[in-house]
Amino acid sequence: MYKNTIFFETNYLRYGITKDGINTEFTQKSTCKNLLSSNNDYFSKIVLNEERELHPLTVKYDAPYLTVSYENGYNAVIKVTEHSNYLTFALESVKGGEFRSIVFLQIEVNIDYKVDSSFVATCMGMTLNTSMQEYPGRNSFLRCEAFPHIGIDGVKCAIIGAPETILNAIMREVLDEIPDGTMPKAAYSGPYAVDCPDATRTYTIGGASRLEDVDEYVNDMKQFGITQVHMHQGSLYRQGDFKVLCTKGDSELRAMIKRYHELGIQVMLHSYTFFVDAWNKDIGNKYIAPVPHKDLGVCARFTLNEDIDCKTDVIKVAESTVGVKDVFGYLEPASPILWIDDELIRFKTITKNEPFSFNGCERGALGTKISEHKKGAEVRQLNSYFGYIAPEKNSELFYEIARNTADFYNKFDFDGFYLDAIDGVFVLDGNEFSWYHAVTFINEMFKYLKKPPIFNCCYGPQYPGQWYARTRMGAFDSASRGYRDFTDAHSAFNEKFAERMYLIGEHGWWALYPPVNERLGWQNKIMHDEDIDYICSKVLATDACHCWHGGFINYKKIPKLASYRDKIMLYTKLKESNYFSKDVKAQVRKPSSEFDIVETDEGTYRFRHTHTDRHRIESFEERRNIFTVFNRFYEQQPKIRIEALYTEENFHYHN
């Protein structure tokens, strides 16, 4: 062994660091192959506030502590523990001055998992405030970082190098070492996702709006193989305080979910994470009115420049309004709502030169009481995204909404979650720390759950900590054209993230076209049989979860939708019964490969290769209205479909 190298070992891995802090080995012990990338780098570094990096000068090991001396007189102590199947690195202290972050472990490995994934390198953060570069799974960059901005106490990670056949078991060992309540853990989450028997089911978003409609809605769902329903916030319950909005209150919602269960349908809680619904005139959210909660999020603060009475509609402030947002919408991180004392005020315009003011004000907005206010009072602009009010980061309201979500889940016996709008977490504390606040909210929820959920949430690649809660990953908004290209892109995403991290991939959200729309065929391209075959064959071949938007319900009105029904049901039945072998699925999942399913004379099913030639006829002129195709299969009668162009020929073409 190398004289100047410090080694740490498990049953399967030998990891080496030189005494000047350079990674030198990440060796698979059974083959003696060093899998470390050729980009040998320091195993640790300190990043100063001005983005300057400090590298190790010396590393000393007195078991179990690594003492690292960096440039500029900084030093850190890292506790290293060798377990049978993994190593842990816990940051004990950092001294020497202020800094932006410390990377207390970083390793780059050279493993091409597409060629050979028999041995896998994995990094697992073991605390909420430990930042990972990648989701746990087949990793290339094993990097853990801590930030004083959110606190560095207790940061810790685990490093695994092991055969893939036992990786999941080792990841579960690591999870067992993490104290309950400090990270989101559940029976169908993270390394346990693959054990969830219902994770690959098909779901829809919406559902019946009344108890008496549940049976009919479920019958319609089952026509398309749908056995899960997402109850989206805003219809049957209100986001934030989770007040039930059913006509008959809690008893009706409870009866609806019970009836779904009796009919074999699982029900998911589809909430908007930590946001508060506030905008409807009579919304009545207790966090907004009659007195705004003290922890509502604020994106700008000012000082009232003069007394105002109950009729004042111009709010003058002492500070400049030059940088204040005055464009508001679904994807704009601000709101047109001012908050003074216990009153909310909606403004229309902003004066951005002296005297600075907010103009055209609607007093007593969102159900608050109009009041007089004295000069010097604080004027706050409420923070908002997706049209909902955000709480302050790390506030009691932030955690209370997490507990509300868990209590609602428990009270009404839901089966899982889709945390929508979690990608709006950046409005709390900027993009850099979105990962932390997202997983902190999830963890607060998980601490109070009484039943393990099937869990998914929107977005995700930049929030690796969500892995510990996730069962599924990969929901995309619906495409309205280019269905096959979109399906291939979605499959590639699932392979890169969900499958690589041992989560259940998802294909959705898909809307079946044509919709009920007087502009039929305008913008949204009609789906045809080969599109349905393509989508469903890739879902089957990748063992993914699937989602159909609620438009399927219109199959009774639109014959084309009804024609999809039997085809979708067949794919769903064969997927759920795991009818096809892995080798067959591997062929079908290839990008651009077209298949349909046929029944043989013996009553069995097989995939059949298909091919679609597309030609655009733009004119009836000679030589512009002829095309030739090559039949790559056996002799057969071709199927030809003629579609109208979406635009007419250029008006000036013949002029």
Provide the token pair at 72. Answer: 């500029």
* Number of residues in the chain: 655
The CATH number given to 202-231+257-271+412-582 is 3.20.20.70
Burial of 208 (0-12, 13-18, 19+ CB in 10 A): buried
Per-residue pLDDT, averaged over 254-276, amounts to 98
Task: Round the average pLDDT of the chain to a whole number and report it.
Answer: 94
Measured CA to CA in angstroms, residue 369 lies from 377, 449, 471 at distances of 16, 37, 45
Helix, strand, coil % over all residues of the chain, rounded to 5:
25, 25, 50
Provide the token pair at 583. Answer: 């080798």
Kindly report, as residue ranges, where domains of CATH 3.20.20.70 are found in the chain. Answer: 202-231+257-271+412-582
DSSP 8-class letter at 499: I
Q: Are 86 and 93 contacting, i.e. CB atoms less than 8 angstroms apart?
A: no
Kindly report, as residue ranges, where domains of CATH 2.40.10 are found in the chain. Answer: 298-382
306: pLDDT confidence band, cut at 50, 70 and 90?
very high
The 10s digit of each residue's pLDDT in 539-569 is 999 999 999 999 999 999 888 889 999 999 9
576: pLDDT confidence band, cut at 50, 70 and 90?
very high
Burial of 628 (0-12, 13-18, 19+ CB in 10 A): exposed
**How many whole angstroms from its chain centre is CA 194?**
18
Measured CA to CA in angstroms, residue 548 lies from 225, 233, 244, 415, 609 at distances of 10, 18, 25, 19, 25
Least confident piece of the model among 8-12, 285-289, 570-574: 285-289
The CA angle 364-369-371, to the nearest 5 degrees, is 90
* Cα distance between residue 400 and residue 226, in whole Å: 33
Q: Where are the alpha helices (DSSP H) in 343-482?
A: 396-412, 426-429, 434-446
* Cα distance between residue 59 and residue 62, in whole Å: 10
* Cα distance between residue 646 and residue 130, in whole Å: 52
The DSSP H or E segment spanning 633 is none
Q: Which fold has domain 5-180?
A: Beta-galactosidase; Chain A, domain 5 (2.70.98)
Per-residue pLDDT, averaged over 153-158, amounts to 98
Q: Which residues, in sequence order, are bridge partners of residue 132?
A: 144
Q: Are 103 and 143 contacting, i.e. CB atoms less than 8 angstroms apart?
A: yes
The 10s digit of each residue's pLDDT in 13-32 is 999 999 999 999 999 999 99
Q: Which residue, among 92, 101, 86, has the nearest Cα to 133 in the 3D structure?
A: 101
Written out in words, the top-level CATH class of the domain with range 298-382 is mainly beta
* Cα distance between residue 506 and residue 547, in whole Å: 8
* Cα distance between residue 338 and residue 348, in whole Å: 11
End-to-end CA distance of the chain: 83
pLDDT value for 621: 73
The DSSP H or E segment spanning 490 is helix 483-494
Query: Would you say residue 145 has pLDDT above 50?
Result: yes
* Cα distance between residue 70 and residue 19, in whole Å: 12
The 10s digit of each residue's pLDDT in 453-473 is 999 998 766 689 999 999 999
Per-residue pLDDT, averaged over 422-430, amounts to 95
Q: Are 277 and 285 contacting, i.e. CB atoms less than 8 angstroms apart?
A: yes
pLDDT value for 49: 85
HSE on the CB side for 354, CA within 13 Å? 2
Of 40-44, 63-67, 365-369, the range with the highest mean pLDDT is 63-67
Peptide bond into 355 cis (omega under 30): yes
Kindly report, as residue ranges, where domains of CATH 2.70.98.10 are found in the chain. Answer: 5-180
The DSSP H or E segment spanning 538 is helix 529-541
pLDDT value for 454: 98
Q: Is the dihedral of CA 565, 575, 494, 485 positive or negative?
A: negative
